[in-house]
Amino acid sequence: MKQFQKLFNSKPYLTWYIKNKEKISEKSMFEHVLNYGNWEDFLKTENILGINKLKRLFDQISNQRRVNLRKQTVNYFKNYFDKYA
C-alpha cells in the first residue's frame, strides 16, 4: 500500500482536485488511475498491487450502482482482466 500511495502522490494529475490524498482508499486510488492515468500508470499499479487484486478492485468499482468510469474503459478492462487475471 505504501508503494502505491507513493506512486499516487508522485502523479499530481491523478488527484488534482483532492486536498488530503492520504485518506483515499485503495479502490478510489485505482479508480483515479483508470480515469486520469495513462497506460504506464496502470502498469506500475499492476506491478505494485498485482493483477488479481486489481481485478477484485475493478469488479467492485464496475459493479457499483453508480460507476464513475467511461463505458469504453469498463469494456476494455473487463476484457483485459478476463484474459489475464
Kindly report, residue by residue over 20-77, the tens digit of the pLDDT: 777 788 888 899 899 998 999 999 999 999 999 999 999 999 998 998 899 999 999 9
Which domain, by its residues, includes 43?
Answer: 2-8+25-84
Helix, strand, coil fractions of the chain, as percent rounded to 5: 75, 0, 25
The pLDDT value recorded for residue 57 is 94
CA 40 vs CA 36, 55, 67: distances in Å: 12, 17, 23
How many domains are contained in the chain? 1
58 or 9: which carries more pLDDT confidence? 58
Residue 71 lies in a domain: yes
Residue 19 lies in a domain: no
Report yes or no: 29 and 8 within 8 Å, Cβ to Cβ. Answer: yes
Residue 13 lies in a domain: no
In this structure, what C-alpha cell is assigned to residue 61?
468499482
Angle at 56 between CA 10 and CA 14, to 5 degrees: 20
The pLDDT value recorded for residue 22 is 76
Residue 14 lies in a domain: no
Judged against a pLDDT cut of 70, whether residue 3 lies above it is answered with yes
H or E element, residue 17: none
The pLDDT value recorded for residue 16 is 73
Residue 55 lies in a domain: yes
Residue 56 lies in a domain: yes
Residue 59 lies in a domain: yes
